[in-house]
Structure 1
Amino acid sequence: MSANTPETRSNRKLLIGGLLVVLISINGILIYMNYQKKEKTEEQAEIINVKNSELENQIKVYEALKADFERQSQELSAMGLENDSLESQIATITADLEELRGFRKRSYSLADQRRFRDRASAFEKQLQEKDQEIARLKQDNEVLFTENTDLKTTQTRLSDSLTTMRSTNEELSQQVRVASKLEAHGLNVNIINQRGKEKEDDDNEFRAKRVDKLRIDFTLAKNDVAKKEPKTVYMRMIEPDGAALYNLSTGSGTFQVDGEDMYYTAKRDFVFDNTQQALSFTYDKNAEYKKGQHTVELYADGFLIGKATFVLK
């Protein structure tokens, strides 16, 4: 009975109270530790969220940088320019993007964050410098385009003026050519018989059997426009059937009138001196002449300068 003394009961109470205090303390410590653990877990989760957000933002920055560098490359290509450094930068950014996207499956450290931010800043500076360079190139191209347009306009005007001048010169040349056309006046046809005697007829009618040779006389009219220079007169003797007498052995050949070849019977070279020169042809067919109307045509410088007819009976 002595064990249940007031002193013993007091000690028991003290012991129970101490145990309660210890239990409460331990519980408090456990509660605090759980709180700290939870707080640390939340802090770590927040850090992970921040890192993930930073990673995604950095990926977006690099995607935008790549798009801008590709835009610059296209603008240079549109101006007909090439830039290997831009292609190299695009390749580098593409490699960085692949590395950044790989951090979605592994740790993205603060050192990595700083490294990619610094590289992005360098790329952005290069991008701005290149944009300024492209702006200057565009301005220079606009100036060149304006100058080229003005030059083409001037060239077109000059070309039009030259075309007009050529047309005018051609017209003037043609007018001078026409004005310098020679004229054969007094064209007369006589016959020379086998005895060498010459006979003329006011009606230009002769007996065919008496004709041995033909003599065609004419005088060149004055022309102050025509050049004083060597020239050639072509004589065409057209028989009653409409064909021109042509015999290579007697000096016949071809010449051109308005770009077309024509046969001539004989030709005569002379020097035009604008003195109303008297010229003549003596033609020997070396064969019997056909009966009927004959036509004599004279040409010089591509023009018909005289014409006459005679009849052989």
Structure 2
Amino acid sequence: MATETPEKDSNRKLLVVGLIIVLLSINGILIYMQQQKTQENEEQKEIIKVKSTELENQIKVFETLKADFERQSKELQSMGLTNDSLETRIAAINADLAQLRSFRNGSFSLADQKRFKDRAAGLESALKRKDEEIAKLQEANEELHTQNTDLRTTQNKLSDSITTLATDNQALSDKVALASKLEAQNVRVTILNNRGKEKDDDDLEFKAKQVDKIKIMFNLAKNEVAPKESKEIQMRLIEPDGSPLYNLAMGSGTFEHEGKEVFYTAKRDIVFDNTQQQVTFLYSKGAAYKTGKHTIELYSGGYLIGTATFTLK
């Protein structure tokens, strides 16, 4: 067996060393490439994470914008106002949100990010301007509400004053009416028989069947408050049983006294002249009178102004 020379042994060592160096270099290259790939993967993951965070932030921004524009719409509605442009903007934001959410399953590029950021900035500016406009409207509305409240208060006070004045006027009118009511003085009753013979209060001995007519005379007292004008005087001839004589054919009728409808026997229209003028009623029943105490009641303007009685036997 031939012995290897030192030269060959040296060459073999050099070859082994070279091979080891090549292998180490290749391994180093592979390790470097793996590190680069790992780094790229990490960077890609970080990019995806950043994009996802940016996307979610943009979605939140647009959701907040939508809520603010809906708030503005409600504030306008509370003042009785509508704004079609707000409704259109809200619909557009809904479309933007739908598009942004679709990027969760796709690529959210830098161009998309810039586009939506610019749109959000424009919407925020519009939101701010609309808030300022609504604030002015609310201020004007509050001022108008205050003015209306003051006006209603004034109207209520005026209404109360008018009511009080009307009440006072009515009370004054009632006092004037009461003060100006007529008064029958010296009421006298005489009896006429069918022959025209007359007997007065001091000589009422006629039998009821002999009476043909009843004559009532009185004077109207002086009254400086009562106006000189036409007056209507009603006479009630009340029989012993409490029933007033009433015959439409003989001029009877009704009038109001203390809120009730009252029957009268006869009436006279006179012109009050404040001279203590005399007024006369001459009444014929047209049938036999009842025996007993009869009552005469005289009224004018709804007031009882005089009474008298007489008795028939």
TM-score band, normalised by shorter chain? over 0.9
User: In the TM superposition, what is the alpha-carbon distance from 1:201 to its structure 2 partner?
Assistant: 3.4
Mapping for residues 216-227 of structure 1, pairs under 5 Å: 216-227=216-227
Q: Are the equivalent residues in 1 in contact too, given 2:68–2:127 (CA < 8 A)? A: yes
* Equivalent residue letter for 1:150: D
* Equivalent residue letter for 1:65: L
Mapping for residues 62-211 of structure 1, pairs under 5 Å: 62-202=62-202, 204-211=204-211
What CA deviation, in whole Å up to 9, does each residue of 1:40-87 have, x standing for no partner?
111111110100110111111112112222222222233332223222
What CA deviation, in whole Å up to 9, does each residue of 1:217-274 have, x standing for no partner?
1111111111222111111000111100011121111111122111111111111222
CA pair 84-255 structure 1, distance change in 2 beyond 3 A: same
User: In the TM superposition, what is the alpha-carbon distance from 1:7 to its structure 2 partner?
Assistant: 5.2
Cα separation, 1, equivalents of 2:140 and 2:15 = 98
Tell me the secondary structure at the aligned position of residue 104 of structure 2: coil
Matching residue of 1:253: 253
CA pair 3-68 structure 1, distance change in 2 beyond 3 A: farther
User: In the TM superposition, what is the alpha-carbon distance from 1:129 to its structure 2 partner?
Assistant: 1.2
Q: Are the equivalent residues in 2 in contact too, given 1:61–1:120 (CA < 8 A)? A: yes
What CA deviation, in whole Å up to 9, does each residue of 1:154-212 have, x standing for no partner?
22221221121111111100000000100111111111121223222326553323311
Gaps of 5+ in 2: none
* Equivalent residue letter for 1:305: I
TM-score, scaled to structure 1: 0.92
Matching residue of 1:274: 274
Cα separation, 2, equivalents of 1:10 and 1:4 = 10
What CA deviation, in whole Å up to 9, does each residue of 1:127-146 have, x standing for no partner?
11121122112222221222
Q: Are the equivalent residues in 1 in contact too, given 2:189–2:217 (CA < 8 A)? A: yes
Aligned residues: 313
Q: 214-223 vs 149-158, which deviates more? A: 149-158
User: In the TM superposition, what is the alpha-carbon distance from 1:15 to its structure 2 partner?
Assistant: 4.3
Aligned sequence identity (%):
63
Q: 224-233 vs 15-24, which deviates more? A: 15-24
Cα separation, 1, equivalents of 2:64 and 2:251 = 92
Gaps of 5+ in 1: none
Q: Are the equivalent residues in 2 in contact too, given 1:179–1:226 (CA < 8 A)? A: yes
